[in-house]
Amino acid sequence: MDNKIRMKARDVNFYYGTAQILNGINLDIFANNVTAIIGPSGCGKSTFIRLLNRMHELVPNARLEGSITLDGSDIMADAVDPVEIRRKVGMVFQKPNPFPKSIFENIAYGLEINGTRNKQFIEDKVVESLKKAVLWHEVEKRLHDSALRLSGGQQQRLCIARCLAIEPEVILFDEPCASLDPISTHKVEELILELKKVYTIVIVTHNMQQAARVSDHTGFFYMGKLVEFGRTEDIFTRPREKRTEDYITGRFG
C-alpha cells in the first residue's frame, strides 16, 4: 500500500569544493509517510536533507549533480526560486532555534514575510499551529512571553508550529530530538506520527529506536552513499546489506 511518490532524488552527487559528500543517491520519498535517514556521523545524511529545500545553497562552493523533484518538477532548475521551495518544504533544525521574539511573533513571522497582513487571520493561524504542534495548552496564557523562556522541548515544538503555520507540503526534521530529554523526545515523536496524516515527513536521526518507532521507510547512509533503502520493518528485521545490519545492531557507528 505504498503511497504516491512526493519527492524523488536521482543520481545525486554533491560536492563542497573538491570534496565529494554524496555519491549517486537515488531515493524516493512517499507522501504521508515518515522517511527516516540513518547513518553514522559524517555520512552525508544531514547534507542530503538540506538539499531537499535547497538550504545547501547557503554554503559557498557547493555543487550538485543529478536531479531532485517535488511532485515531478525539478526543484533545482534555474528558473525555480529557492524561496518558493522552502515555503513548500519546511525544515526543523537539530538545535531548537526560535527567534528571540515572543511566542506569538515567532509563528506570525513566517506569515508576515509571506505577505499576510490580516491580523485576525494571523491570530487564528498562530492558535491553530500551536494546537497542531500540541503546545497550545502549555503556552496559551503567555503568548507574548519570550520564546527563549520555554524549555528545550517546548522550543522545538514551537519551531514545528512555526513551520506548520506556513502550510508546507513536506517537513524536514534534522535530528529534531538531538538536544531533547526523553520526555520531550517522546512528545515530538508522537507529534511526528500525528503530522504524517497531513504532511510528508523526512527525519534524520542518530537514534535507531526512533527511526524504528516513527518511520515507514528508512534509508541507511554510509560514507556518502545510500547503502540500503526500504520499508522500515524490512530494514530493521531483515536488512539485505551486511553494513546495514552491523550498523543497526550497534556493531559500529
| Near other proteins in 58-77, by CB under 8 A | 58, 60
Site for other proteins contains 218 (CB under 8 A)? no
**Count residues contacting other proteins (CB under 8 A)?**
31
**Assigned C-alpha cell, 115:** 505577505
Determine the Cα–Cα distance for residues 23 and 224; give it in Å rounded to an integer. 5
Task: Select from 214, 221, 223 the least CA-distant residue to 248.
Answer: 221
Q: Is 126 in the site for other proteins (CB under 8 A)?
A: no
Residue choice 49, 52, 163, 177 for contact with other proteins (CB under 8 A): 163
Strands laid side by side in the 170-174 sheet: 89-92, 170-174, 200-204, 34-38, 217-222, 225-231
Q: Report residue 189 as a C-alpha cell.
A: 515523536
The bridge status of strand 225-231 relative to strand 217-222 is: antiparallel
Nearest distance in Å: CB 2, other proteins: 28
CB half-sphere exposure, 41, CA atoms < 13 A:
1
- Three-state DSSP at 92 gives strand
Q: Which is nearer to other proteins, 204 or 212 (CB)?
A: 204
Of 29, 43, 68, 91, the residue at the interface with other proteins (CB under 8 A) is: 91
Q: How far is the CB of 31 from other proteins (least distance, A)?
A: 21
Residue 132 C-beta: closest distance to other proteins, Å: 16
Task: Note whether 83 binds other proteins by CB under 8 A.
Answer: yes
Report the interface residues with other proteins, using CB under 8 A.
53, 55, 58, 60, 83-84, 86-87, 90-91, 93, 95, 97-102, 105, 109-110, 113-114, 146-149, 159, 162-163, 166
